Structure 1
Amino acid sequence: MTSVPFENVAPIRGRWRWVEGGRPLVLIATASKGRGTKLETELGDVLYELDPGLVSRRSRSYPDVILVFSLVNPFILLRRLMHWPPAYAQRVVPVEYHVEPEPGSIVEGLEVLSAKLGSGAVVWVEVDVRGSSRLSSQLEKVIVEWLSARGFRVSRRGAQHVVKLECVPGEGCGLSIIPWRCDRVEEWWKRGTTERCVANYG
């Protein structure tokens, strides 16, 4: 296995559920329509220097979704991409906790990740389970109810963070809490975005 500096090792908490090449899933990227192959290559080219053993591949079921597996902290990878924004990406979601697309697993992840939110924080929730809008809605409800029961306010207005659940069934499912809109590549061109998006992470 290729050596990676210890300080860069991915902070995937809990069990590594989604692994390829001995590396955990750390990023889920969505390409512009029909540009999955180009984005797959683009991500590999930009990130290879940080982890020569990195795996960047298209989803078997959704060819415009790219899964990235690496031993490097996902926010370090995200910082690198922000300096060289991929031309064919619409969004890139860092994965902080591996989950299954079912309530118990997601609550387990929320219990760990919510510790970094301040008391009474205003957050938004975005869930994308590829191929199932019904399951996406069901799991979004689980997350919203869990957060609300613990004193967090779920609202788009005033939200500084987003709880993201990004799933490609059978291939990878990740939970993360990220600063507002920091997965949107179009935002990366704005002054100060890199500092805002990766501050206190990685």
Structure 2
Amino acid sequence: MNKCRLVLIATTKPWRLPSAIEELGDALFRYDESVNVYADERVPLLYVFSCKLEPMHAFKLVVREPPASIERVIPVEYLVELTANVEDSSSVKRLIDVLYSLIRDRVKDDTIGLEVKPRGFFMLGGDDKRWNNALSNSLTALVGLRILRKSDYVLKLEDTRYGIVAAIMKSKWDRMQTWRKMRLGNTSAEESKR
């Protein structure tokens, strides 16, 4: 039997947690009967564990019928169990060193977007803006990437109870609103190419 692992995280509004859990479970249960969805007690964040599904496959199954009560879904491509403090440049460098293999293998050119969501679990000492600045500077200095506000691909870092979830995905593909618009056909030709 395969070991169950964290495959997705999702965000929602606090009052939508029960329906979000049900929608995620409904989307995945027929593909893995052992799927479990847990809500974090501290933040409106959902953790999806599966014994059979890979993160990107689970992500594709969810966005096929985008849940109404979910705001964002991120596949757990990489899980970093390293505590870092934004005020300690050596701990930020260690985080970049750990993420380097993911970045190197997935970034085709030298530019990428960056979205950071620190929540005080593993990413300590700052807000989104401070973390974004610290990581942008480190990625530029240590890896040679240019961080752009608007880029086709984005490195997403989500601070969770289980570690820092990292994923590289097309811009705005984590947002269920994007998938709902595409499903309804209310999107421009440029957005649907992404």
TM-score when normalising by structure 2: 0.78
Task: Report deviation, 1:167.
Answer: 1.3
Match of 1:44 in 2: 25
Contact 2:119 2:159 in 1 (8 A): yes
Please name the residue that 2:10 is paired with.
Answer: 29
What amino acid is aligned across from residue 108 of structure 2 in structure 1? G
What whole-Å deviation, never above 9, does each CA across 1:107-134 have from its counterpart, x for those lacking one?
Answer: 24421111211132x2111111225671
Aligned to 1:173: 164
* 2:132 maps to 1:140: yes
Q: Which residue of 2 aligns with 1:18?
A: none
Unaligned runs of 5+ in 1: 4-21, 197-202
SS at 2:165 equivalent? strand
Q: Is the 8 A contact 1:82 1:194 kept in 2?
A: no
- Counterpart CA distance in 1 for 2:114 and 2:25 is 29
Q: Larger % of helix: which?
A: 2
**Which shifted more, 178-187 or 123-132?**
123-132
The residue aligned with 1:96 is 77
For the aligned residue pairs, the C-alpha RMSD in angstroms reads 2.4
What is the CA-CA distance between 1:138 and the residue it aligns to?
Answer: 4.6
Going from structure 1 to structure 2, the CA distance change for 1:54 and 1:172 (only over 3 Å counts) comes to farther
Q: Aligned partner of 1:110: which letter?
A: L
Deviation at 1:146, TM superposition (A): 2.9
- The partner residue of 2:148 within 129, 149, 155 is 155
Per the alignment, residue 50 of structure 2 pairs with 70
d(CA) in 1 for partners of 2:159, 2:7: 12
In 2: Cα distance, 1:101 partner to 1:174 partner: 12
Number of residue-to-residue matches in the alignment: 173
Counterpart contact for 1:40–1:56, Cα < 8 Å: yes
When normalised by structure 1's length, the TM-score is: 0.75
Runs of 5+ consecutive residues of structure 2 not aligned to the other structure: 85-91
Q: Which of 1 and 2 has greater Rg?
A: 2
What is the letter of the counterpart of residue 102 of structure 2? L
CA distance in 2, matches of 1:26, 1:165: 14
* Equivalent-residue separation in structure 1 for 2:8 and 2:38 (angstroms): 11
1:86 maps to a residue whose letter is P
Match of 1:89, SS state, is coil
Match of 2:102 in 1: 113
Identity of aligned residues (%): 28
